[in-house]
Amino acid sequence: MALDELLAWLPPGSPEEALARQVNFEQLPAHIAIIMDGNGRWASRRHLPRVEGHRAGINAVRDVVETSARLGVEVLTLFAFSTENWKRPEAEVSMLMALLKRYLRIELGTLLQNNIRFRVIGRVQDLAPDIQQELADAEARTAANTGLLFNIALNYSGRTEITDAVRRMIESGVSPREVTEQRVSDFLYTAGQPDPDLLIRTSGEMRVSNFLLWQIAYAEIWVTDTFWPDFRARHLLDGILEFQKRDRRYGGLKPSRVATLR
């Protein structure tokens, strides 16, 4: 079913179609998390200001969100703005916020059409009131959707998330005996969601930059040199196919290896 939905959307005879046919839909990552990186470098290669890279990055977001929804992925989390990104020039930060607002206005229809539920993770309370309003509106209008859960990480930091979770646990009177891994997970922004199976980072950087530190404990990591504004359905499919070749052991042994040891 998911293959049909995807094929109906991909250009017939395209490289995307060939990739989609190789995907094993029984083994899809339930949660894909993406560190969208390389907008600035994409722009400077073209002798454009950095903000043009951010603007172009919106096309990648649109493509990846819709492809994930059609694939039948449960959760997609995109890292859009880190707590550390406030260190950037004010003009760049306000342009990023303005682009976010525009994205939400333009794309809300697509989210609704594709049964996508939109959620924000991060310290939303520190964003400008108009942005908060826009985000809350998009969350409310898509709250009843039952398809892809699309998390956008905004003013997000993994360490802050864990610190906030610890504080809230103490405030809610959780006793030391009740502190388990499950209980900690329940206090994170992603409570109730599966952990990412696949973590993608674009632009070739080999670091996690404070993203979902707790949740990526056993994620498979795939780094592509492609800059975010160039990232499309075919790159996502490449990442999924690579993920499906991995041997996830979670510290144990492959079942075939266990058999030979018996």
**Which CB atom, from 5 or from 84, has the smaller least distance to ligand IPE?**
84
Measured in degrees and rounded to the nearest 5, phi and psi for residue 206 equal -95, 60
Report the C-alpha gap between 150 and 78 in whole angstroms. Answer: 8
Q: How far is the CB of 63 from ligand IPE (least distance, A)?
A: 16
Measured in degrees and rounded to the nearest 5, phi and psi for residue 149 equal -95, 115
Candidate list 37, 114, 195, 197, residue with the active-site label: 37
Q: How far is the CB of 190 from ligand IPE (least distance, A)?
A: 16
Q: How far is the CB of 187 from ligand IPE (least distance, A)?
A: 23
Q: Is 145 a catalytic residue?
A: no
Q: Which does 248 bind (CB under 5 to 8 A by kind): Mg ion, ligand IPE, none?
A: none
Report the C-alpha gap between 123 and 106 in whole angstroms. Answer: 24
**Which CB atom, from 85 or from 185, has the smaller least distance to Mg ion?**
85
Write the CA distances from 139 to 104, 111, 155, 240, integer angstroms. 10, 11, 17, 27
Q: Does 158 sit near ligand IPE (CB under 6 A)?
A: no
Given candidates 19, 23, 36, 69, which one binds ligand IPE under the rule CB under 6 A?
36
- Binders of ligand IPE: how many residues, by CB under 6 A? 18
Listed residue (66, 174, 170, 160) closest to 113, CA to CA: 66
Q: Does 205 sit near ligand IPE (CB under 6 A)?
A: yes
Q: Which residue is nearest to Mg ion (CB)?
A: 37
* Contact stretch for ligand IPE (CB under 6 A) within 30-38, 114-122, 192-200, 251-259: 30-38
**Which CB atom, from 83 or from 142, has the smaller least distance to Mg ion?**
83
Report the C-alpha gap between 210 and 85 in whole angstroms. Answer: 11
Q: Does 38 sit near ligand IPE (CB under 6 A)?
A: yes
Q: Is 37 a catalytic residue?
A: yes
90-113 and 50-71 helices cross at what angle (nearest 10)?
20
User: Do residues 64 and 231 lie in contact, with contact meaning Cβ atoms separated by under 8 Å?
Assistant: yes
Given candidates 19, 52, 73, 81, which one binds ligand IPE under the rule CB under 6 A?
81
* Contact stretch for ligand IPE (CB under 6 A) within 20-28, 31-39, 67-75, 217-225: 31-39
Beta partners for residue 152, in sequence order:
78, 120
Report the C-alpha gap between 37 and 25 in whole angstroms. Answer: 27
Q: Does 96 sit near ligand IPE (CB under 6 A)?
A: yes
Measured in degrees and rounded to the nearest 5, phi and psi for residue 200 equal -110, 135
**Two structure tokens written together for 225:** 């040199």
- DSSP, collapsed to helix, strand or coil, labels residue 251 as coil
List of residues contacting ligand IPE (CB under 6 A): 35-41, 79-82, 85, 96, 203, 205, 207, 209, 228
Catalytic annotation, residues: 37, 85
